[in-house]
Amino acid sequence: MSTTETAASTSADAPAIDTDKLMGFVFRAVDEVGATLNAALVVMGDKLGYYRDLAAHGPTTPAQLAERTQTAEPYAREWLNAQAAGAYVTYDPSTKRYMLPPEHALAMTDADSPAFLPGFFQIALGTVHDTQHIVDAARSGAGYGWHQHDSDVHVGCERFFRPSYHANLVGSWIPALEGVQPKLEAGALVADVGCGHGASTILLAKAFPNSTFIGSDYHAESIRTARARAAEAGVDNVRFEVASAQDFGAAPGGQRFDLVAMFDCLHDMGDPVGAAQRVREVIAQNGTWMIVEPMAGDHVEDNLNPVGRAYYGFSTLLCTPSSLSQEVGLALGTQAGPARIRDVTAAGGFTRFRSVAETPFNRVIEARP
């Protein structure tokens, strides 16, 4: 067959292009580019106080926003226009004023609301900032550690997850665990492994003053922040230590932990089975391992939704590289699903496993010896 005949055959076999579908995809991609840029604009508006100012003052001109926030008017003007185009704020052409709807204000300014969003954007922006490192790692098969990322990843992570912990941890998640709340009220020994900045540890310590809490994380800078946060909160029944999940400290005086908690971190670990084995070594025989993981189903098709899309993005750029940077590098992925988490707990020596609570972003799992 000649070259001309081959080309003609290939052309004849090519699928017909639906122009409407093509342009629909192109304009969807344009929207995606706008959304990508908006992540930076949300972080900008959060850091400059634009959302808080709009929430406090109502309909506003760019000049008023700039004056009140002590920023340059051209930046305030273009930021407001971008926010209006993305329907984050509304624009009234007759008055040339912009307004942040009250529902949006709750999501953009109330750090204690479970709907609070700026931390989500901040961790996303910090994650994207390091994309070139992940491109290089994908070519070599290497990892990229949590500690190597931009600080927006660490700060944004706490700001994203803390509101959900604040809304659910003490009020619904702890009561869902069999027999745990009475132990905490009476005085239990608790390990919070992979505690980051200590938001979960401090919430629990404040709620259960008779119990003792030990938070641990391999990231020394996060532990320094956790210690400072505990001092600010005035809690004296908590301490923090630098340690990995595979070797976090034994309980004082040879005691065993009544509760071991891991919040949104098991899937990030290089050796989650080793972590499970360590938990089994230090937990009391009637103790509880509380595992909070990102919401996910067991199959890819279960996770093809907006939450799953975001988490698969984080898994590619943040969580999987983190696991691959450590020994073993199991790379569970952010969307591991309960079946894979159950396999990890079973390999660590746990015989009982159940899902006890969930939110749109998290699943809470109870594992027991």
Q: Which amino acid is it at 66?
A: A
Contacts of 336 (CB under 8 A, 6+ apart): 267, 293, 296
**pLDDT interval class at 284 (50, 70, 90):** very high
Q: In what order do the strands lie in the sheet with 352-358?
A: 238-242, 212-217, 189-193, 257-263, 283-294, 362-368, 352-358
pTM, two decimals, is 0.89
pLDDT greater at residue 343 or residue 112: 343
Residue recorded with tokens 């659910």: 168
Whether the Cβ atoms of residue 227 and residue 240 lie closer than 8 Å to each other = yes
Instruction: Calculate mean pLDDT across residues 348-359.
Output: 96
Mean residue pLDDT of the chain comes to 94
Number of Cβ atoms within 10 Å of the Cβ of 241: 15
Cα angle 245-315-246, degrees, rounded to a multiple of 5: 10
- pLDDT bin (cut points 50, 70, 90) of residue 12 is low
Strands 352-358, 362-368: pairing is antiparallel
Domains and CATH numbers, the chain: 14-109 (1.10.10.10), 124-368 (3.40.50.150)
91 vs 99: CA distance, rounded Å: 7
Q: Is the pLDDT of residue 117 over 80?
A: yes
- What are the tens digits of pLDDT across the range 118-129? 999 999 999 999
Q: How confident is the model at residue 8 (pLDDT cuts 50, 70, 90)?
A: very low
For residues 61 and 97, the answer to whether their CB atoms sit within 8 Å is yes
Residues 52, 56: Cα–Cα separation, whole Å:
6
**pLDDT tens readout for residues 289-324:** 999 999 999 999 999 999 999 999 999 999 999 999
pLDDT-derived band of residue 11, with 50, 70 and 90 as boundaries?
Answer: low
Residue 271 has pLDDT above 90, yes or no: yes
